[in-house]
Protein backbone atom coordinates (compact mmCIF):
# COMPACT_ATOMS: atom_id res chain seq x y z
CA UNK A 1 0.00 0.00 0.00
CA UNK A 2 1.09 3.49 -0.64
CA UNK A 3 1.37 5.83 2.36
CA UNK A 4 -0.67 9.10 2.23
CA UNK A 5 1.33 12.23 1.62
CA UNK A 6 0.78 15.16 4.01
CA UNK A 7 0.93 18.64 2.53
CA UNK A 8 2.10 21.62 4.64
CA UNK A 9 0.75 25.09 4.00
CA UNK A 10 3.14 27.77 3.00
CA UNK A 11 3.77 30.46 5.64
CA UNK A 12 3.23 28.15 8.63
CA UNK A 13 6.92 28.11 9.66
CA UNK A 14 6.91 31.90 9.71
CA UNK A 15 4.05 31.88 12.16
CA UNK A 16 5.84 29.29 14.29
CA UNK A 17 9.01 31.36 14.26
CA UNK A 18 7.10 34.42 15.34
CA UNK A 19 5.51 32.54 18.21
CA UNK A 20 8.84 31.07 19.28
CA UNK A 21 10.38 34.54 19.39
CA UNK A 22 8.01 35.52 22.17
CA UNK A 23 5.65 37.62 20.15
CA UNK A 24 8.19 40.39 19.63
CA UNK A 25 7.85 40.30 15.86
CA UNK A 26 5.68 43.13 14.67
CA UNK A 27 3.72 43.78 11.52
CA UNK A 28 6.63 45.78 10.09
CA UNK A 29 8.85 42.76 9.65
CA UNK A 30 9.80 41.52 13.12
CA UNK A 31 10.61 44.80 14.95
CA UNK A 32 10.44 44.28 18.74
CA UNK A 33 8.52 46.33 21.33
CA UNK A 34 10.43 49.34 22.80
CA UNK A 35 12.34 48.77 26.06
CA UNK A 36 11.02 51.07 28.81
CA UNK A 37 14.06 50.62 31.03
CA UNK A 38 16.15 52.82 28.75
CA UNK A 39 13.70 55.70 29.20
CA UNK A 40 13.67 55.28 33.01
CA UNK A 41 17.47 55.33 33.14
CA UNK A 42 17.52 58.49 31.05
CA UNK A 43 14.99 60.19 33.35
CA UNK A 44 17.04 59.26 36.43
CA UNK A 45 20.18 60.68 34.85
CA UNK A 46 18.39 63.91 33.97
CA UNK A 47 17.06 64.25 37.52
CA UNK A 48 20.52 63.71 38.96
CA UNK A 49 22.03 66.30 36.64
CA UNK A 50 19.33 68.82 37.52
CA UNK A 51 19.91 68.25 41.23
CA UNK A 52 23.66 68.75 40.84
CA UNK A 53 23.12 71.93 38.85
CA UNK A 54 20.71 73.22 41.49
CA UNK A 55 23.24 72.57 44.26
CA UNK A 56 25.98 74.28 42.30
CA UNK A 57 23.77 77.30 41.65
CA UNK A 58 22.77 77.44 45.32
CA UNK A 59 26.41 77.35 46.39
CA UNK A 60 27.20 80.24 44.06
CA UNK A 61 24.26 82.28 45.33
CA UNK A 62 24.97 81.56 49.00
CA UNK A 63 28.06 83.80 49.23
CA UNK A 64 26.20 87.10 48.83
CA UNK A 65 23.60 85.91 51.33
CA UNK A 66 26.28 84.97 53.86
CA UNK A 67 28.06 88.29 53.39
CA UNK A 68 24.81 90.21 53.85
CA UNK A 69 24.01 88.21 56.97
CA UNK A 70 27.42 88.97 58.47
CA UNK A 71 27.01 92.69 57.74
CA UNK A 72 23.53 92.81 59.29
CA UNK A 73 24.68 90.93 62.38
CA UNK A 74 27.67 93.29 62.73
CA UNK A 75 25.44 96.35 62.51
CA UNK A 76 23.00 94.84 65.01
CA UNK A 77 25.83 94.00 67.40
CA UNK A 78 27.19 97.55 67.18
CA UNK A 79 23.71 98.90 67.81
CA UNK A 80 23.36 96.60 70.83
CA UNK A 81 26.66 97.85 72.26
CA UNK A 82 25.60 101.45 71.72
CA UNK A 83 22.27 100.75 73.34
CA UNK A 84 24.02 99.17 76.34
CA UNK A 85 26.09 102.34 76.77
CA UNK A 86 22.99 104.53 76.60
CA UNK A 87 21.18 102.23 79.04
CA UNK A 88 24.06 102.43 81.50
CA UNK A 89 24.16 106.22 81.33
CA UNK A 90 20.43 106.49 81.86
CA UNK A 91 20.11 104.01 84.70
CA UNK A 92 23.49 103.68 86.44
CA UNK A 93 24.58 107.31 86.73
CA UNK A 94 24.26 108.53 90.35
CA UNK A 95 21.68 111.20 91.12
CA UNK A 96 22.42 112.62 94.60
CA UNK A 97 19.66 115.23 94.27
CA UNK A 98 17.02 112.47 94.10
CA UNK A 99 18.34 110.43 97.01
CA UNK A 100 15.63 111.61 99.42
CA UNK A 101 12.85 111.35 96.85
CA UNK A 102 13.24 107.85 95.46
CA UNK A 103 12.12 104.67 97.16
CA UNK A 104 12.09 101.03 96.20
CA UNK A 105 8.90 99.56 94.81
CA UNK A 106 8.17 95.84 94.88
CA UNK A 107 4.41 96.11 94.22
CA UNK A 108 3.50 95.85 90.53
CA UNK A 109 1.47 98.84 89.38
CA UNK A 110 2.26 101.14 92.30
CA UNK A 111 4.68 103.41 90.41
CA UNK A 112 2.49 103.36 87.30
CA UNK A 113 -0.42 104.71 89.32
CA UNK A 114 1.82 107.48 90.66
CA UNK A 115 2.85 108.35 87.11
CA UNK A 116 -0.77 108.58 86.04
CA UNK A 117 -1.71 110.70 89.09
CA UNK A 118 0.69 113.45 88.11
CA UNK A 119 -1.04 116.73 87.23
CA UNK A 120 0.74 117.06 83.91
CA UNK A 121 -0.09 114.39 81.34
CA UNK A 122 3.21 115.09 79.65
CA UNK A 123 5.09 113.92 82.73
CA UNK A 124 3.12 110.66 82.83
CA UNK A 125 3.75 110.02 79.13
CA UNK A 126 7.43 110.80 79.62
CA UNK A 127 7.82 108.35 82.49
CA UNK A 128 5.75 105.50 81.07
CA UNK A 129 6.68 106.00 77.42
CA UNK A 130 10.36 106.40 78.22
CA UNK A 131 10.48 103.09 80.06
CA UNK A 132 8.61 101.34 77.26
CA UNK A 133 10.91 102.75 74.56
CA UNK A 134 13.92 101.72 76.61
CA UNK A 135 12.98 98.06 76.11
CA UNK A 136 12.17 98.21 72.38
CA UNK A 137 15.78 97.69 71.21
CA UNK A 138 15.91 94.40 73.10
CA UNK A 139 13.01 93.01 71.11
CA UNK A 140 14.46 94.22 67.80
CA UNK A 141 18.16 93.37 68.21
CA UNK A 142 18.19 90.20 70.30
CA UNK A 143 16.76 87.91 67.56
CA UNK A 144 19.37 89.27 65.13
CA UNK A 145 22.46 89.17 67.34
CA UNK A 146 21.61 85.88 69.02
CA UNK A 147 19.61 83.44 66.86
CA UNK A 148 18.80 81.22 69.84
CA UNK A 149 16.97 84.15 71.44
CA UNK A 150 14.26 84.03 68.76
CA UNK A 151 10.82 83.46 70.11
CA UNK A 152 8.38 85.59 72.05
CA UNK A 153 8.91 83.86 75.38
CA UNK A 154 12.71 83.94 75.13
CA UNK A 155 12.80 87.63 74.30
CA UNK A 156 10.51 88.45 77.22
CA UNK A 157 12.48 86.33 79.69
CA UNK A 158 15.88 87.66 78.61
CA UNK A 159 14.70 91.27 78.73
CA UNK A 160 13.12 90.78 82.14
CA UNK A 161 16.32 89.15 83.44
CA UNK A 162 18.55 91.99 82.20
CA UNK A 163 16.24 94.65 83.59
CA UNK A 164 16.02 92.95 86.97
CA UNK A 165 19.82 92.95 87.13
CA UNK A 166 19.92 96.64 86.18
CA UNK A 167 17.32 97.56 88.79
CA UNK A 168 19.12 95.50 91.42
CA UNK A 169 22.39 97.35 90.76
CA UNK A 170 20.50 100.63 90.89
CA UNK A 171 19.01 99.90 94.27
CA UNK A 172 22.16 98.41 95.80
CA UNK A 173 25.01 100.53 94.43
CA UNK A 174 23.92 103.70 92.63
CA UNK A 175 23.17 106.75 94.72
CA UNK A 176 19.79 108.32 94.12
CA UNK A 177 18.42 105.23 92.35
CA UNK A 178 16.07 102.53 93.59
CA UNK A 179 14.72 99.18 92.52
CA UNK A 180 11.31 99.51 90.82
CA UNK A 181 9.43 96.46 89.59
CA UNK A 182 7.23 98.65 87.39
CA UNK A 183 10.28 99.73 85.41
CA UNK A 184 10.99 96.05 84.70
CA UNK A 185 7.39 95.54 83.56
CA UNK A 186 7.44 98.58 81.27
CA UNK A 187 10.84 97.72 79.79
CA UNK A 188 9.74 94.15 79.12
CA UNK A 189 6.54 95.42 77.49
CA UNK A 190 8.67 97.57 75.19
CA UNK A 191 10.78 94.56 74.23
CA UNK A 192 7.62 92.59 73.48
CA UNK A 193 6.36 95.43 71.29
CA UNK A 194 9.65 95.72 69.42
CA UNK A 195 9.77 91.97 68.79
CA UNK A 196 6.24 91.83 67.42
CA UNK A 197 6.71 94.86 65.17
CA UNK A 198 10.23 94.33 63.78
CA UNK A 199 12.37 91.81 65.64
CA UNK A 200 10.48 88.75 64.52
CA UNK A 201 10.61 89.64 60.83
CA UNK A 202 14.24 90.76 60.86
CA UNK A 203 15.32 87.70 62.82
CA UNK A 204 13.66 85.32 60.36
CA UNK A 205 15.13 87.20 57.40
CA UNK A 206 18.69 87.06 58.76
CA UNK A 207 18.41 83.58 60.29
CA UNK A 208 15.87 81.50 58.32
CA UNK A 209 14.26 78.89 60.56
CA UNK A 210 15.47 75.34 60.07
CA UNK A 211 13.09 72.54 59.30
CA UNK A 212 12.31 70.19 62.15
CA UNK A 213 12.97 66.50 61.80
CA UNK A 214 9.28 65.76 61.28
CA UNK A 215 9.13 68.36 58.48
CA UNK A 216 11.93 66.80 56.44
CA UNK A 217 10.77 64.76 53.49
CA UNK A 218 12.66 61.82 52.11
CA UNK A 219 13.70 62.10 48.47
CA UNK A 220 12.36 59.44 46.12
CA UNK A 221 14.73 56.82 44.79
CA UNK A 222 16.72 57.85 41.74
CA UNK A 223 17.02 61.55 42.70
CA UNK A 224 20.08 63.13 44.17
Asked if the structure places residue 80 within a domain, the reply is: yes
Asked if the structure places residue 13 within a domain, the reply is: no
Asked if the structure places residue 174 within a domain, the reply is: yes
What's the pLDDT at 217?
Answer: 58
pTM of the predicted model as reported, rounded to 2 decimal places: 0.64
pLDDT digits (tens, 9 = 90+) for 34-79: 454 454 455 455 555 555 554 544 444 578 878 888 888 888 889 9
Contact between 134 and 87 (Cβ < 8 Å): yes
pLDDT at 12 over 50: no
Give strand pairing partners of 105: 180
Mean pLDDT across the chain: 76
What's the pLDDT at 32?
Answer: 47
Asked if the structure places residue 146 within a domain, the reply is: yes
Asked if the structure places residue 75 within a domain, the reply is: yes
Contact between 190 and 139 (Cβ < 8 Å): yes
Average pLDDT over residues 118-140: 91
What's the pLDDT at 214?
Answer: 61
Asked if the structure places residue 223 within a domain, the reply is: no
pLDDT at 92 over 70: yes
Question: How would residue 167 be classed by pLDDT, with cut points 50, 70 and 90?
Answer: very high
pLDDT digits (tens, 9 = 90+) for 180-197: 999 999 999 999 999 999
- The tally of domains found in the chain comes to 1
Q: Say how far apart CA 76 and CA 191 lie, in whole Å.
A: 15
Domain of residue 188: give its range: 42-212
Asked if the structure places residue 26 within a domain, the reply is: no
Question: How would residue 165 be classed by pLDDT, with cut points 50, 70 and 90?
Answer: very high
pLDDT digits (tens, 9 = 90+) for 13-38: 544 444 444 444 444 444 444 454 45
Asked if the structure places residue 151 within a domain, the reply is: yes
Of the CA atoms within 13 Å of residue 62, those in its CB half-sphere come to 6
Amino acid sequence: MTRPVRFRKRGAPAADDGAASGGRAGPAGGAGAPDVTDGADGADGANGANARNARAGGAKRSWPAVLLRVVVMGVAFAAMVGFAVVLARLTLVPSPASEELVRSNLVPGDSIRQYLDQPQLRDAVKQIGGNVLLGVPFGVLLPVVWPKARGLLRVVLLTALVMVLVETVQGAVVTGRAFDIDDVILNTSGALLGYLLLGRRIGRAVHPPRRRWWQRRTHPAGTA
